[in-house]
Amino acid sequence: VLVEGKNRGKVINYIAEEPYFQVEVEEIQEGFSEDTSEIRALTHGVINQFQEYAKLSKKVPQETIGTVLSVDDPGRMADIVASHLSLKLGDKQKVLEAIDLAERLERLTEIIMRENEILELERRIGLRVRKQMEKTQKEYYLREQIKAIQKELGEKDEKQAEVDDYREKIEEANLPEEAKERALKELDRLEKMPPASSEGTVVRTYLDWILALPWKKKSRDKTDLHRAEKILNEDHYGLEKVKERVLEFLAIRKLTSKMKSPIICFVGPPGVGKTSLAKSVARALNRKFVRMSLGGVRDEAEIRGHRRTYIGALPGRIIQGMRTAGTANPVFLLDEIDKMASDFRGDPAAALLEVLDPEQNSTFMDHYLDLPFDLSNTLFIMTANTVHTIPRPLLDRMEVISLSGYTEEEKINIARNYLIPKQIKAHGLKKNQLSIPDDVILKVIQGYTREAGVRNLERQVANLCRKVATQVVKKEWKEGELTTELLEELLGAPRYQYEKARPKPEIGAATGLAYTEVGGDVLTIEV
């Protein structure tokens, strides 16, 4: 049903809503408007704006424009124009409610001008998109033509194939937006360079580094506390405080993934298991493990890398370690952090401040990459023998966990459960061929080693295994428990002796106690 409105009306009463709306309407008399210069100007403005609208929208038939131009009554013309505009209901209602002709024409002019601005903006956007599409299609068409011509001639453009290969890798790699833009920009430079350009090698190396880094690739943490505790106990005896801290981190990680990784520093004497403990933490978390030794490092570029303007420039060892790990959340061990030095080339400890600051390392800037790299998911673990040589600002960023030396009882347990089975297996012996009782282990600890850790103890156990293996091959070895007498025959006379306190006071002699990081002893001081 096509309905045409004749006159305006005002609803004064609602009669019914079912089965359809029924209302009582009062007709509104519009009256006669004088043909003033203002009305003529407004009428011309509406007609001009409507013609512009018809030109931009391309939805208004040409016959409608002719109808509008042929209407003499300005009010009637305004209503016809409003009915052909794609307006919101509220805008149409505003025109309908305008009884005064001048007000109606003004409202209509304002509405059409606004619609024309929107249409013009849509036209410009469409034109820009069309040009971009045409450019892309043109480039694709020309590239395909070049390929077809080269194929017909039996030629192969190796440079273009290389550029296409890089472009495909960049599009497929899950790069951050900034890294992707930089890679495409460098690729455009490479495409314009002569084939034999030395700068091309620099650009290729840079692109290879961008594509090789794990920007968003992460390994999934295993947050099973019982499994992690079992792994830590398998690899290390004691060290309860350290194991407790790792389990706390795992428990919080299971509850929320938003917590930033801690910066942990293991401090203790040599041989107590700092480095091997970091490996166990990585295994317990199901993360990749990367080790970087800082002993003797004195150049800031070792940490941050060299700028690409230098010949043979490469990223720093932090970025190199992330590439080796292949994931964005490895366990990164910075070994011997107390052995760093500084000289005229810079202070590497100052460069590490950004790496070890949880508030800054999410946008770590390597001089070579010159792109922000997120290190916030990496678990950094440092090792040191002492905190006295670590700069205070660097130490302030770490959670220091002290690993004191082992007692004799702990060393016996470590030797029995870890070192002896490991060395027996490493030397090709069988369990029944060599059995070392606890009293012999204690003799080795007291007479052949003097240390806080168990490194020399492991060497002495390995020495024993070599001696036994030699006798097994010569068929001179008798299976059974190792005795203290046989121990001295294999390892020689004891190297160390512990002095005992004198049983009763003596004139001119006093008993003292001395201790260092590697252990302690009783001293008799004579005066």
Residue 208 covered by a domain: yes
| Packing angle, helices 74-83 and 101-153, rounded to 10 | 40
Q: Are residues 372 and 423 in the same domain?
A: no
Sign of the four-CA dihedral 146, 147, 153, 157: positive
Do the Cβ atoms of 239 and 273 come closer than 8 Å?
Answer: yes
CB pairs under 8 A, 24+ apart, for 110-117?
A: 111/85, 111/87, 112/46, 112/49, 112/50, 112/52, 112/53, 112/81, 112/85, 113/49, 115/53, 115/85, 115/86, 115/87, 116/49, 116/52, 116/53, 116/56
Tokens of residue 319, six digits = 């970025």
Are 423 and 447 members of one domain?
yes
| Closest among 165, 134, 135, 159 to 146, alpha carbons compared | 159
- Looking at the fold, whether 262 and 397 belong to one and the same domain comes out as yes
419 near 271, Cβ under 8 Å?
no
* Whether 397 and 415 share a structural domain: no
Give CA–CA dist 54/69, Å, rounded.
13
Between strands 364-365 and 372-373, the pairing is antiparallel
pLDDT at 290: 92
Residues 94 and 163 both lie in one domain: no
- Closest to 193 (Cα-Cα) out of 144, 160, 164: 160
Domain total of the chain: 5
Residue 135 lies in a domain: no
Alpha-carbon Rg for the chain, nearest whole angstrom, is 42
Does 223 or 464 have the greater pLDDT score? 464
> For residue 132, is it within any domain?
no
304 in a domain, yes or no?
yes
Q: Which of 402, 422, 438 is the last residue of a domain?
A: 402
> In the structure, what pLDDT confidence band is assigned to residue 508 with cuts at 50, 70 and 90?
confident
> 439 and 386, same structural domain?
no
In a domain, 277, yes or no: yes
Helix or strand run (H / E) with residue 188? helix 177-192
Tens digit of each residue's pLDDT (9 = 90 or more) over 32-73:
556 678 888 888 888 888 888 888 877 777 777 777 777 777
Q: How many other CB atoms are there within 10 angstroms of residue 411's CB atom? A: 24
Domain end marker among 95, 119, 143: 119
| pLDDT score recorded for residue 289 | 92
- Distances from the Cα of 123 to the Cαs of 51, 95, 112, 243, 245, in angstroms? 16, 27, 16, 66, 62
Domain stops at, among 383, 402, 421: 402
Q: Do 244 and 365 share a domain, yes or no?
A: yes
Residue 162 forms part of a structural domain: yes
In the structure, what pLDDT confidence band is assigned to residue 157 with cuts at 50, 70 and 90?
low
**197, 77: one domain:** no
Kindly state whether residues 328 and 398 are assigned to the same domain. Answer: yes
Indicate whether 69 and 201 sit together in one domain: no
Mean pLDDT of the chain: 82
Using alpha carbons, select from 336, 331, 333 the residue that is nearest to residue 268.
336
Residue 259 lies in a domain: yes
The verdict on 198 and 333 lying in the same domain is no
User: Among 96, 67, 69, which Cα is nearest to 7's?
Assistant: 96
396: CATH: 3.40.50.300
As a residue count, the chain comes to 527
Query: Is residue 431 assigned to a domain?
Result: yes
In terms of average pLDDT, the best of 203-217, 234-248, 344-358 is: 203-217
For position 72, which CATH number holds? Answer: 1.20.58.1480
What pLDDT does 344 receive?
67
**Do the beta carbons of residue 462 and residue 418 sit within 8 Å?**
no
Q: Looking at residues 458-470, what average pLDDT do you find?
A: 88
Judged against a pLDDT cut of 80, whether residue 389 lies above it is answered with yes
Per residue in 329-384, pLDDT tens? 899 999 888 888 776 666 788 888 888 888 888 888 888 988 999 888 888 888 98
Q: Each residue of 17-37: pLDDT tens digit?
A: 888 888 888 777 765 556 678
Domain that holds residue 197: 157-212
Same domain for 66 and 92, yes or no, is: yes
